[in-house]
Structure 1
Amino acid sequence: MGKDKWSKRAIKTILTNEKYIGNVILGKTYTGVFPNNKQQSNNGAQEKYLLEDAHEPIVEREKFEQVQEEIKRRSNVEIVYGKIKRKKTHYSSKKRT
């Protein structure tokens, strides 16, 4: 059983999940204060903690790092001097007339 097709997001989540190499990141989400006490993604609002080798790895660290480098290489986003910019592509856009 299971899905016939996997979404791009599901695959990327699996390929970038640090748990596969035995690491755990604490504080990815946090609960806000009343009245907005729902769970929120932690994008720097609070500290995060990395526990390395917290459990037996499923994937070799070297393979995981190779995948991360490939994802970075294929990305169309580049950070230069702290600013996000798009990389140049080899595709041309056709103007509609």
Structure 2
Amino acid sequence: MSDVPVYVLANFQVHDKDKYREYEKGFFSILKRHNGVFYTYDDNTTTFEGQAPPSGRVVIFGFPSEQLATEWYNDPDYQALSEHRRAGTNLEFITMVRGLPPRG
């Protein structure tokens, strides 16, 4: 695994707001535990070219390294919490995008 920063993109549609709120309540503390940074979310994205993803929420957050992102995703507390997301949303994707390596 590399030490370049990574960014996580998620796209989903919320169909049970109460279940999703349970997920949100615990999400940020687990993210912080793994040195994650929340950047933004958008419920109404704009697609300039190509086929637009299904309407829904797009979330962007990141980690200093791929290892930390992987540890966050595999954290048993996160996996237990994510059951609320799974119950309250229709997930399209959670994708990790690697940043550029440092230029020397």
Q: What is the TM-score of this pair, normalised by structure 1?
A: 0.31
Q: Relative contact order: is structure 1 or structure 2 higher (C-alpha 8 Å, sep ≥ 6)?
A: 2
Name the larger-Rg structure. Answer: 1
Q: Which has the higher strand share?
A: 2
Q: When you count helix as a share of all residues, which structure comes out higher?
A: 2
